[in-house]
Amino acid sequence: NRQIVLASRPTGAPIAANFSLNKVERPIPQQDEVLLRTVYMSLDPYMRGRMSDAESYADPVAINAVMVAGSVCIVEQSNNDDYQVGDWVVAFGGWQDFVISNGVGLIKLSDQLPNKSYALGVLGMPGLTAYMGLLDIGQPKAGETLVVAAASGAVGSLVGQIGKIKGCKVIGIAGGAEKCQYVVDELGFDACIDHKAADFAQQLANVCDNGIDVYFENVGGAVFDAVLPLLNTCARIPLCGLISQYNATELPEGPDRLSLLMGKLLVKRIRMQGFIVFDDYGHRYNEFMTQMSEWLLSGQIKYKEHRIEGLEKAPEAFIGLLKGENFGKLVVRVGEE
Ligand code: NDP
């Protein structure tokens, strides 16, 4: 049983030495327990927060403990009447080959699901995040302008496509020409602006000629600076993530812009609301699954995976996620289907 544990806490960007691959005995399930074998494992930005011991909405991973992750697993052995050998489940299994579960919190996957790894993306946590963040907090209306950052990624790609279904003008922001082209040509956004371009703020202002009504925030930093002056009266900002700041060790340089932000929120009556997906919307999972499965099946929603082969590659792939090296939802194939 291979496990990747947190060897040390990063200062700034994580490095390979923060992780360690250990080999341990395969665990044995006791009464009412099942042994799960990991087939796919999700890599997500929130894991950077768990590597740090700063106060957050969830406890940090302890030093020498297995890194946390959502995973798609097969039941290998079962002492639990609710699970049979060969069942597919979504678990919070972590960065390892095998994990024991007492069944609590497992979600059984239907045999009909053609791509089991989709349960970690479009039909899983990132999908629920996009769906609820946009529809419940963003409240998009037909004809409005929606801007979404990290637009080619797991959450952003879905936010923009749902926005199109709801009749919005949708502008993506992504890193590099290839991602921007994909967002427009394949996902059907109206435009996508490269945040690495020297005149990024000007380009964004040009395409948002009627201002911004909904800004789905995934990144923060310089991208938010460019969005702020374009926000319309009564704009909504689902505050989902701030990935550009996750490796930061101190506040950004430059003048303090807090009063600028608060003044803008006040006079434009803007509503900005953070959310933590399962805490706030876990109870609406079935509603999301029904609608998203329908959209996916009908081809109205497209989905791209960035798949890595092998558990041992997970640290490198995760370090790359925080630098924009993934193109689509990052998933590791840990074992055979
Ligand atoms: P993605 O698949 O979008 O991958 C992350 C992307 O972020 C990268 O590909 C890169 O895209 C972009 N990025 C990385 N660093 C920077 C930077 N310095 N400046 C600008 N962009 C950067 O990840 P997810 O879709 O899984 O997550 C998107 C966001 O949603 C994250 O902030 C995450 O924490 C948040 N989230 C929040 C949840 C909640 O409950 N609140 C739940 C799930 C996700 P590019 O190359 O285009 O710049």
pLDDT for 280 beyond 90 = yes
Among 307, 293, 296, 329, which residue's Cα sits nearest to residue 152?
329
pLDDT for 21 beyond 90 = yes
The 10 Å CB-count burial string (b at 16+, else e) for 73-92 is: bbbebbebeebeeebbbbbe
44 lines ligand 1 (CB under 6 A): yes
Instruction: Please calculate the CA angle 92-149-240 and round it to the nearest 5 degrees.
Output: 45
Pick the CATH number of 125-278 from 3.40.50.720, 3.30.200.20, 3.30.230.70, 3.40.140.10: 3.40.50.720
- Topology of domain 2-121+304-333, CATH: Quinone Oxidoreductase; Chain A, domain 1 (3.90.180)
User: What confidence tier does 181 reach under pLDDT thresholds 50, 70, 90?
Assistant: very high
- Express each pLDDT in 283-324 by its tens digit: 999 999 999 999 999 999 999 999 999 999 999 999 999 999
Q: What is the pLDDT of residue 239?
A: 98
Report the distance separating Cα 67 and Cα 83, nearest Å: 25
The 10 Å CB-count burial string (b at 16+, else e) for 223-251 is: bbbbbbebbbeebbbbbbbbbbebbeeee
Give the mean model confidence (pLDDT) for residues 224-247. Answer: 98
CB atoms within 10 A of CB 13: 14
Q: Which residues contact 249 (CB under 8 A, 6 or more apart)?
A: 11, 12
277 lines ligand 1 (CB under 6 A): yes
What is the residue-averaged pLDDT of the chain? 97
Q: What is the pLDDT of residue 2?
A: 98
193 lines ligand 1 (CB under 6 A): no
User: What confidence tier does 39 reach under pLDDT thresholds 50, 70, 90?
Assistant: very high
HSE, side-chain direction, 13 A CA sphere, residue 337: 5
- Express each pLDDT in 94-118 by its tens digit: 999 999 999 999 999 988 888 999 9
Among 250, 259, 272, 263, which residue's Cα sits nearest to residue 12?
250
Nearest CA to ligand 1 atom 32: 241
Does residue 65 contact residue 16 with C-beta atoms inside 8 Å? Answer: no
Comparing 146 with 252, which gets the higher pLDDT?
Answer: 146
3-class secondary-structure state, position 320: helix
Comparing 9 with 253, which gets the higher pLDDT?
Answer: 9
Helices (H) and strands (E) in the chain, counts: 10, 15
3-class secondary-structure state, position 19: strand
Percent of the chain with pLDDT over 90: 97
152 lines ligand 1 (CB under 6 A): yes
Q: What is the pLDDT of residue 293?
A: 96
List C-alpha distances in Å: 123 to 7, 155, 158, 179, 291.
32, 11, 11, 22, 10
Nearest CA to ligand 1 atom 8: 324
243 lines ligand 1 (CB under 6 A): yes
**Probe target for ligand 1 pocket from 56, 219, 327, with the most ligand atoms within 8 Å of CB:** 219
CATH 3.90.180.10 range(s) for the chain read 2-121+304-333
Instruction: Please calculate the CA angle 125-130-136 and round it to the nearest 5 degrees.
Output: 115
Kindly give the number of the ligand 1 atom that is closest to the alpha carbon of 326: 9
Report the distance separating Cα 124 and Cα 126, nearest Å: 6
Q: What is the pLDDT of residue 35?
A: 98
Among 283, 236, 285, 303, which residue's Cα sits nearest to residue 128?
285
Does residue 131 contact residue 288 with C-beta atoms inside 8 Å? Answer: yes
**Probe target for ligand 1 pocket from 51, 218, 247, with the most ligand atoms within 8 Å of CB:** 218
Among 249, 311, 309, 321, which residue's Cα sits nearest to residue 5?
311
Q: What is the ipTM of this complex?
A: 0.98
Q: What is the 3-state secondary structure (H, E, C) of 45-102?
A: CHHHHHHCCCCCCCCCCCCCCECCCCEEEEEEEECCCCCCCCCEEEECCCCECEEEEC
155 lines ligand 1 (CB under 6 A): yes
Give the mean model confidence (pLDDT) for residues 64-83. Answer: 98
CATH 3.40.50.720 range(s) for the chain read 125-278
Instruction: Please calculate the CA angle 33-125-180 and round it to the nearest 5 degrees.
Output: 145
User: What confidence tier does 252 reach under pLDDT thresholds 50, 70, 90?
Assistant: confident
Distance 196 CA to ligand 1 centre (A): 15
Structure tokens at 258: 């807090």
3-class secondary-structure state, position 115: coil
Report the distance separating Cα 229 and Cα 82, nearest Å: 54
HSE, side-chain direction, 13 A CA sphere, residue 158: 30
Instruction: Please enumerate, as own/partner, the contacts of 181-186 that have beta carbons within 8 Å and a separation of 24 or more.
Output: 182/152, 182/304, 182/327, 183/151, 183/152, 183/157, 186/302, 186/304
Nearest CA to ligand 1 atom 13: 324
29 lines ligand 1 (CB under 6 A): no
